[in-house]
Amino acid sequence: MNQPARLASIKKPLPDELLQALKNLLEDRYSTALAVREHHGRDESSYDAMPPDVVVYAHTTGEVAAIARLCHHYQVPMIPYGAGSSLEGHILALRGGVTIDLSQMNQMVAVHAEDLTATVQAGVTRKQLNLEIKDSGLFFPIDPGADASIGGMAATRASGTNAVRYGTMRDNVLALTVVSADGRIIQTGSRAKKSAAGYDLTRLFVGSEGTLGIITEVTVKLYPLPEAISAAVCSFPSAVDAVNAVIQTIQMGVPVARVEFLDENGVRAINAYDKLSLPEKPLLLFEFHGSQHSVQEQAGLVQQIAADHGADDFEWAMQPEDRSRLWAARHNAYFALLQLRPGARAISTDCCVPISRLAECILDTQIDCERHQLIYSIIGHVGDGNFHVLMMIDPHDPDEVATAEGVNSRMVTRALAMDGTCTGEHGVGMHKMAFLIQEHGSDAIQLMRSVKHAFDPDNLMNPGKIIAWEADA
């Protein structure tokens, strides 16, 4: 897919003084090599790379602040980069500028096991965090699939498989350290579990995708590892049956920790990719957390609900290795699906609707995909009413792109008509900006834009994402 030319045309070469100052500051953590810039100018979306002019690697909040002051002084765009796993074009350098790679900011700042909190540098990934705290008896539940950085997860308001039980980054970030557009260092909160002290800057930065400030440290909630975990898979005659089982589970208040849906195409792909032999029918994958007894109780309830919706088997995976294998397969679904059409890229989109409308929304989207003969899969964190459509396309064939974008657009319109949202967890990036306006209406967008103007009056922070600045429009 091509990027809007209007933004690229605004690009101007960076001043030599800025480049020299960055080099002095960061020495070998500075690169203008094309390969490095291209690597940093793309994410997991199907957009072509739009490289920044320079990539720098920060190690401390102080360095990020110094970089921001330089960029501010020379009025140059700055784009934070974590793990590069975003999906909607979040990190493309539309106007060039400086990409600030935070992946080397991978230090644990503090673990307060006694308070169930940890503070990490933004570049710590979720897997690293869980490894670092594994002896504490605690874990960090948010799991978007990719081994994303905690800073990036905060910036995109990530969620994923465990959100149905533990919430999203919105709910699990207690406080942030943020560098502002002019290089000031802001603390947005404390380690208190709740606060009524002023405007919720933490929640304002969570999900702001680098457009309001650069998140450099994150304080998150941790949870005691459950005494017992069990998982189960079951197959259904149809997608609607599977989703109806989920709807009933949620309505009854069963505190499932995870409930994932894969359509037949998804199951076929992971069978091939992960050498599994799951029945090639719509599938639900459950996980239960709690005491031994509570886990059995939950699973018993869900098994009954599944049977009522025509599930013809309910297979247990009590052993950690079986569970890991299933979840690895689920997390590999993206790559497994790409194998359905070698050389293709995936347009991966998501939406979220009130739970009672989920079966209808998925079914209509499935019919739309079939009608257009796409190679696709619908998979989702269905306990939250959230699902994904992955469409394997040739990103350089305008007809295929148009078809996929048509499906995407109709899915969003459908979700909005059901009082849902245009994105449950992927974020807006540059791909869903028009849908954001459709969802919120121009008055709300105007308020969002006024926040952007207030925090970033020169439009230097990841410009051209989420909402169009007047100059971009």
Residues within window 317-376 making contact with a second copy, judged by CB under 8 A? 352-357
Choose the binding region for a second copy from 15-23, 263-271, 322-330, 435-443 (rule: CB under 8 A). Answer: 435-443
3 state DSSP class of 26: helix
Question: Residue 134, interface with a second copy (CB under 8 A)?
Answer: no
Nearest to 452, CA basis, from 434, 438, 465: 465
Q: Which is nearer to a second copy, 214 or 422 (CB)?
A: 422
3 state DSSP class of 234: strand
Q: Is 332 left (phi over 0), alpha (psi -120 to 50) or beta?
A: alpha
Site string for a second copy, 26-65 (x = CB under 8 A): ----------------------------------------
Choose the binding region for a second copy from 307-315, 323-331, 336-344, 451-459 (rule: CB under 8 A). Answer: 451-459
The sign of the CA dihedral 176, 177, 180, 184 is positive
CB of 244 to a second copy, least distance (A): 12
Query: Please, which of residues 392-421 interact with a second copy by CB under 8 A?
Result: 415-416, 419-421
Nearest-Å Rg of the Cα atoms of the chain is: 22
CB of 372 to a second copy, least distance (A): 25
Question: Residue 139, interface with a second copy (CB under 8 A)?
Answer: no
Question: DSSP code of 282?
Answer: -
Q: How far apart are CA 79 and CA 40, in angstroms?
A: 10
Q: For the residues of 170-210, what is the DSSP string, one character each?
A: HHHEEEEEEE-TTS-EEE---S-S---SSS-HHHHHTT-TT
Per the listing, tokens 């919720």 go with 200
Among 70, 366, 425, 430, binds a second copy (CB under 8 A): 425
Question: Residue 135, interface with a second copy (CB under 8 A)?
Answer: no
Per-residue CA distances from 140 to 172, 193, 203, 249 (Å): 9, 16, 19, 24
Question: Residue 125, interface with a second copy (CB under 8 A)?
Answer: no
CA atoms within 13 A on the CB side of 270: 25
Question: Residue 431, interface with a second copy (CB under 8 A)?
Answer: no
CB of 293 to a second copy, least distance (A): 6
Query: Please, which of residues 150-209 interact with a second copy by CB under 8 A?
Result: 156-159, 163, 167-168, 170-171, 180, 184-201, 203-204, 206-208
Q: How far apart are CA 246 and CA 435, in angstroms?
A: 27
Do the Cβ atoms of 270 and 328 come closer than 8 Å?
Answer: no
Count of other CB atoms within 10 angstroms of residue 193: 10
Query: Please, which of residues 241-300 interact with a second copy by CB under 8 A?
Result: 247, 250-253, 290-291, 293-294, 297
Q: Which is nearer to a second copy, 194 or 371 (CB)?
A: 194
Count of other CB atoms within 10 angstroms of residue 229: 17
CB of 440 to a second copy, least distance (A): 6
Among 374, 422, 430, 468, binds a second copy (CB under 8 A): 422
CB of 189 to a second copy, least distance (A): 8
CB of 112 to a second copy, least distance (A): 7
Q: Which is nearer to a second copy, 60 or 296 (CB)?
A: 296
Q: How far apart are CA 79 and CA 211, in angstroms?
A: 8
